[in-house]
Amino acid sequence: FVCPACRGELAAIPSAYTCRACDRHYPIVCGIPDFRLAPDPYIGIEEDRSKAERLFKEGSGRTFQQLLRYYYTVTPEDPADLAERWIARAQAEVEIAAGLVAGAGWSAPGSVSLLDIGCSTGAMLIARANHHPVRTGVDVALRWLAVGRIRLREAGVSATLVCANAEHLPFPERSFGAVTCVDTLEHVSDARASMREAHRVSSPGAPLLCTANNRFAPVPEPNIHLWGVGYLPRSRQPDYVRWRRRDLHPYRIRLMTPGELHAAAVSAGYRNAVVEPAPIVAPHAAPLLRRAVDIYARLRVRTVTASLLRVFGPRLLLTASATPSTPS
């Protein structure tokens, strides 16, 4: 690790890391180093640490699915109807991750290390366990990483979990041979800075797989399941969501357009950046929606409809590779 603030050398002390250059202190909580410089939008850092410790303690006697449901019993601010949707998706995420990679035709040399940015409970790390000898997941939410430790243990998968901001990764340059970033950029404070960091820690030529939900897709906003959010000016979106869902936390998500996603990759230094309609894998969906997904799968590989779906499709897939010489 390096200091995410100054990239200085870190000294390991009991239960923490300390930067030799700027003297910042980074605690280890639930066996997970916490390198955050800023909290996630929904909870303060100390509250998040406390919640992570509670979840990790409860997880010692629970399965992943049981702990997932327990999470929402201690998170009453999340509406029950949305919690049920989120639980169903979380339970299916390993299958979703594997299907995404397969559907995208994405590959990375099997001997390289993998970094998953925005790893949540570690589904991608589990899905790629047989492909990468070293796996690292980073997420800003320590509470979800604590749940992820239980999921990884249950799956018998070894991986390093790190709590950090995507805009300030605590890794040296050229640390990873492959990077994935699934539905994460819409949640960060600075998507371009996050992409620059992904590129910085990538080895020369390392492949990137990134997905994002399309702002202008004519479907409900996928995180909170409301129609029309993306078509409003961004300054008006929080007010609209608050009007429609008064029981929901403030809306801070920034859905991306195909052009924004491509520009973020190019400005970070990635080459061969291509944005196309993303594969959709939804084993948890209702039968009618699964039929729609099957139709979408056929349309996304046809030239004419693929061009339309790149603009209006529900999900975007970005593939690219790091430049041969990664700038500092």
| Tens-place pLDDT, residues 152-209 | 999 999 999 999 999 999 999 999 999 999 999 999 999 999 999 999 999 999 999 9
Q: What is the pLDDT of residue 107?
A: 87
Sign of dihedral through CA atoms 290, 291, 296, 299?
A: positive
Radius of gyration in angstroms for the set of CA atoms belonging to the chain, rounded to a whole number: 19
Q: What is the pLDDT of residue 327?
A: 47
The neighbour count for residue 285, using CB atoms within 10 Å, is: 16
Which residues of the chain have a pLDDT value below 50? 326-328
Spans of all domains in the chain? 30-214+256-274+314-321
pLDDT digits (tens, 9 = 90+) for 281-310: 999 998 999 999 999 999 999 999 999 999
Are the C-beta atoms of residues 256 and 185 closer than 8 Å to each other? yes
Are the C-beta atoms of residues 35 and 170 closer than 8 Å to each other? yes
**Topology at the third CATH level for domain 30-214+256-274+314-321:** Rossmann fold (3.40.50)
Q: What is the pLDDT of residue 111?
A: 81
Q: What is the pLDDT of residue 34?
A: 99
Q: What is the pLDDT of residue 110?
A: 76
Q: What is the pLDDT of residue 328?
A: 45
Q: What is the pLDDT of residue 325?
A: 63
Q: What is the pLDDT of residue 326?
A: 42
The neighbour count for residue 12, using CB atoms within 10 Å, is: 11
Which pTM does this prediction carry? Answer: 0.96
The neighbour count for residue 176, using CB atoms within 10 Å, is: 25
